[in-house]
Structure 1
Amino acid sequence: MHDPYPFLVTVPHGGLLVPGEIADMLALGPADLARLSDPATGLLYDFGGRVAARLEARISRVAVDVNRPPYHLPPLHPDGAIKSRTPDRRAVYRGGGFPPIEVVHGLMLRHYFPFHEAVDRLLDENGVRCAFDCHSMEPFGPPLAKDAGRRRPLVCLGNHGDANGEPRRGRLATCPPRWMRILATHFQAAFPEGEVAVNRPFPGGFTSMAHYWHRGIPWVQIELNRGLYESPDGAVDGEAVAELRERCRSVLAAFWEDTGSGEPGRTA
């Protein structure tokens, strides 16, 4: 068997668990939590022993969103690490408020910070040379999104740069532009039926930027279109998930065959 690729795969938004201390406070039910998650991404990005390290958040992003800055808290940040509103502005908690501050602190200490501590540990202990923060996205931009009503690509790759993966003025790019172009080329070959976009509609989130800043190891945010495996009523096609997982695994393997001899962060 091939040695594991020196990758860390993080899956921050596939979880559905709700911490007991807020379960009775939520205004949302299980169907809402599933819709607001990245459905089946725990399976979609489960490459087993073929990657050096993997970390999956089990807690629902509605309860604790590990892909937000730790200081993004209600009431100033309703869609932050602890949320008071959903992306479509629905109240997360009964009465339209948010948990008491001591509950918020407890959620952060028990779920948020341990996730990021684990990311640092996995990066340090497993010889990771490239990390992937893995998500799924709705087929069309939802009503209040910046791309509202627009058809989304099949794949979006984000490094916080521009449409070519180049750094934007005043911003860091979390993966070398050359690597982004190579990765996009391999994804396009694997997904010829649709578009592969770079930094559109999602350039990347907190996790990739924060940990690139800390360690200098390249990070890419991957978004797969939910329409590839999910019906309009939210039913997940397990066979499609398995097939997509194999496509993604093959893409990452081909990407590393093309880039692995170069040092992380080096551009052509």
Structure 2
Amino acid sequence: MKEELTQDAMKLPLLISVPHGGYSVPPDIVHRIALDFSDIFPDSDPCTRSIYSFRDEVCYYHDSNIARAIIDLNRAPDDLPPENPDGVVKNHTVMETPVYRQGHRPDSRLIQDLLERYYYPYHQQIAEDMTDPALVCGLDCHSMLEYPPGTDTGENERPFICLSNCGDENGSGEDLDISCPADLINLFADCLRSEFPEEADRIVLNNPFKGGHISQLHGKQIPWIQIELNRSAYLRRPWFDPESLQVNGKRLQYLRHKLFQAILSFCEEAGSMRYLPNQPSLQYHLRHFAPSLL
């Protein structure tokens, strides 16, 4: 009799991290914060917990509801103000808005408490998940401003998607320095170009971002790729109302669908490149566990 396949066996052998999708402020420090939602929204990676919501399709998925302005999970734990005002704890947002009311910046004791509550558990769980020998890759998922902070002209427009592995524009670099092999990140880029052919020339590697702390740290154990999606893909009219900060749900679902199709193609092709262990057919996975994405 044919052995029954379990749902866990059918999940894609990936670890998804979405560290900047939250908007929440811990209740015990709300009185310290100078920001309102209109400040927190653009400082976070808006809607990424919807765009990359593949919790049911991959082996491991992690996100956070805590705002990036409070604890930045993509920074080293000792990357702190005043040496870096944009570190793991921040003095100001990416738009230079002060995070804390005057005289209410956290002291070292409060910083350590925030790290213990929100930062270390996130990274500890990722580290535990990476002991699974079935995993082939981690994807650290973000969005980026259409232009660098403080600029809004076409000549400074960022790419549609930036994939990063701490390498060069070809994904190459010293083996000990890059977070995943060049052929693997180039494979993922090609899969994305197939799903977004109109943006193919604007899907690039390691520019403007080389890869953050998550991919650099955890890429020492398994391959990690950082992905940055340009917010112009969904935070622009007609999909976005800048006054109400409302985003068109159908547009988010469309982006999720296209990204997931690229991820599926990536896993199929990576299997032929011998990056994947023996896995049941991904088409079986699609038919049984993700029929809505077909």
Question: Do Structure 1 and Structure 2 share a fold, with TM-score over 0.5?
Answer: yes
Deviations along 1:7-38, one digit per CA (max 9) or x if unpaired, are 00000000111112321111111111111111
Q: In the alignment, which residue of structure 2 is the partner of 1:51? A: 58
Query: How many corresponding residue pairs?
Result: 261
Q: In the alignment, which residue of structure 1 is the partner of 2:187? A: 182
1:123 aligns with 2:135: no
1:158 aligns with 2:164: yes
> Aligned partners of 2:86, 2:143: CA distance in 1, in Å?
18
Gaps of 5+ in 2: 1-6, 277-294
CA distance change for structure 1 residues 112 and 247 in 2, over 3 Å: closer, same or farther? same
Letter in 1 for 2:80: L
> Would the aligned equivalents of 1:143 and 1:149 in 2 still touch at CA under 8 Å?
no
CA distance change for structure 1 residues 126 and 84 in 2, over 3 Å: closer, same or farther? farther
Letter in 1 for 2:205: V
> Would the aligned equivalents of 2:32 and 2:104 in 1 still touch at CA under 8 Å?
no
CA distance change for structure 1 residues 148 and 33 in 2, over 3 Å: closer, same or farther? farther
1:4 aligns with 2:15: no
Q: In the alignment, which residue of structure 2 is the partner of 1:242? A: 253
Q: In the alignment, which residue of structure 1 is the partner of 2:291? A: none
> Would the aligned equivalents of 2:164 and 2:225 in 1 still touch at CA under 8 Å?
yes
> Would the aligned equivalents of 1:65 and 1:81 in 2 still touch at CA under 8 Å?
yes
* SS class of match (2:197): coil
User: Which residue, 268, 271, 276 being the options, matches 1:257?
Assistant: 268
Deviation at 1:235, TM superposition (A): 3.1
> Aligned partners of 1:117, 1:64: CA distance in 2, in Å?
15
Alignment of 1:8-23 (within 5 A): 8-23=15-30
* SS class of match (1:53): strand
% identical aligned pairs = 35
> Would the aligned equivalents of 1:22 and 1:99 in 2 still touch at CA under 8 Å?
no
Gaps of 5+ in 1: none
> Aligned partners of 1:166, 1:253: CA distance in 2, in Å?
24
CA distance change for structure 1 residues 90 and 9 in 2, over 3 Å: closer, same or farther? same
User: Which residue, 56, 63, 71 being the options, matches 2:70?
Assistant: 63
Alignment of 1:209-228 (within 5 A): 209-213=216-220, 215=221, 217-228=222-233
Q: Which runs of 4+ in 1 moved over 3 A?
A: 261-265
Deviations along 1:176-202, one digit per CA (max 9) or x if unpaired, are 101111111111111122210111111
* SS class of match (1:48): coil
* SS class of match (1:49): coil
Deviation at 1:171, TM superposition (A): 6.4
TM-score after normalising by structure 2: 0.83
> Aligned partners of 1:134, 1:102: CA distance in 2, in Å?
30
Bigger-Rg structure (1/2): 2
> Aligned partners of 1:219, 1:96: CA distance in 2, in Å?
39
User: Which residue, 116, 124, 134 being the options, matches 2:141?
Assistant: 134
Q: In the alignment, which residue of structure 2 is the partner of 1:198? A: 205
* SS class of match (1:24): helix
Letter in 1 for 2:17: T
Deviation at 1:261, TM superposition (A): 4.2
- Structure 1 range deviating more: 33-42 or 87-96: 87-96
Deviations along 1:13-66, one digit per CA (max 9) or x if unpaired, are 001111123211111111111111111100110123221110001111100001
User: Which residue, 87, 97, 105 being the options, matches 1:98?
Assistant: 105
Deviation at 1:97, TM superposition (A): 6.1
> Aligned partners of 1:137, 1:192: CA distance in 2, in Å?
20
* SS class of match (1:193): helix
Deviations along 1:198-223, one digit per CA (max 9) or x if unpaired, are 1111111000110112x2x0000011
Q: In the alignment, which residue of structure 2 is the partner of 1:110? A: 117
Letter in 1 for 2:120: F
RMSD over equivalenced CA pairs, Å: 2.3
> Aligned partners of 2:151, 2:92: CA distance in 1, in Å?
13
> Would the aligned equivalents of 1:88 and 1:144 in 2 still touch at CA under 8 Å?
no
Letter in 1 for 2:105: F
